[in-house]
Amino acid sequence: MYKMTPSLVSFGHSLINRCGAMQSRLIIIVLYGIFFASTFDYNDAVVFKFTNFVCESYNQSLFVFNYCRLKAVGRNKVIFNMNGTLLHSANNVWIHSQIFKRANGYRPWLYEVKFDACQYFRRPNNPLVAIVYGLFKEYTNINHTCPYVGPQIIKDFYLRPELLRVPLPTGDYLLMIRWYFEKRLQFDTNVTFVFEEDLMKRN
């Protein structure tokens, strides 16, 4: 049920390498999202849930995924659990993330960011990263700056619309996250999710 085909992963990889960042629009979108979220209490009018999660390590001698899986616990609630082991200390970690929206295949949609993960935890000043990290920070032990080593865990993480501080049109999305240690790609974590808003249920 939660398998992503290799062709989709490969297609996403090629897209992420071609897309340019759209940083000039980010601050305006975030500010609008904060206003939008504070104006409407629409948690009951939104379906915001995982549909697939794929974890792939390209260097088993450095990072091993012990498990990476989704579990449906309700009609509109799907939880994610991940347990990985970083076998050697990592002090130089960069992340490249891109969001795609499905429309006759997944196409680039607005947000792309590359950042130094170690620096972010020392000075969390990237608004887009703060939004994404805010969705799962209470479910993980990935909550400190470098070095990273040993178990890396996300437990019982599910998507909560009240924590999403940017507006999203209804649709299916792919969030691709590529992890670089010492400037070399080590693993990918790719997630698809659905966001559906029922305007008739808004207060």
Are 112 and 97 within 8 A, CB to CB?
yes
The residue that leads in pLDDT, 165 or 51, is 51
- Which of 10-24, 50-64, 185-199 is most confident? 50-64
Q: pTM of the prediction?
A: 0.77
Phi, psi of 54 (to 5 degrees): -125, 125
**Residue 111, pLDDT score:** 85
Average pLDDT over residues 28-43: 46
In a domain, 172, yes or no: yes
Gyration radius of the chain over CA positions: 17
We report the CATH number of the domain holding residue 184 as 2.70.220
In a domain, 178, yes or no: yes
The residue that leads in pLDDT, 8 or 89, is 89
pLDDT at residue 72 tops 50 = yes
Summarize pLDDT for 131-179 with one digit per residue, the tens: 999 999 999 999 999 999 999 999 999 999 999 877 889 999 999 999 9
**Residue 43, pLDDT score:** 55
Containing H/E element for 14? helix 6-18
In a domain, 12, yes or no: yes
Summarize pLDDT for 74-131 with one digit per residue, the tens: 999 999 999 999 999 999 999 999 999 999 899 988 789 999 999 999 999 899 899 9
How many whole angstroms separate alpha carbon 95 and alpha carbon 113?
8
Per the structure, how many domains does the chain have? 1
pLDDT band for position 201 (50/70/90)? Answer: low
Look up the domain containing 42 and give its range.
Answer: 6-198
Average pLDDT over residues 50-65: 98
Average pLDDT over residues 23-52: 59
Within 19-98, where are the H helices? Answer: 26-39
In a domain, 203, yes or no: no
pLDDT at residue 197 tops 90 = no
Phi, psi of 176 (to 5 degrees): -105, 130
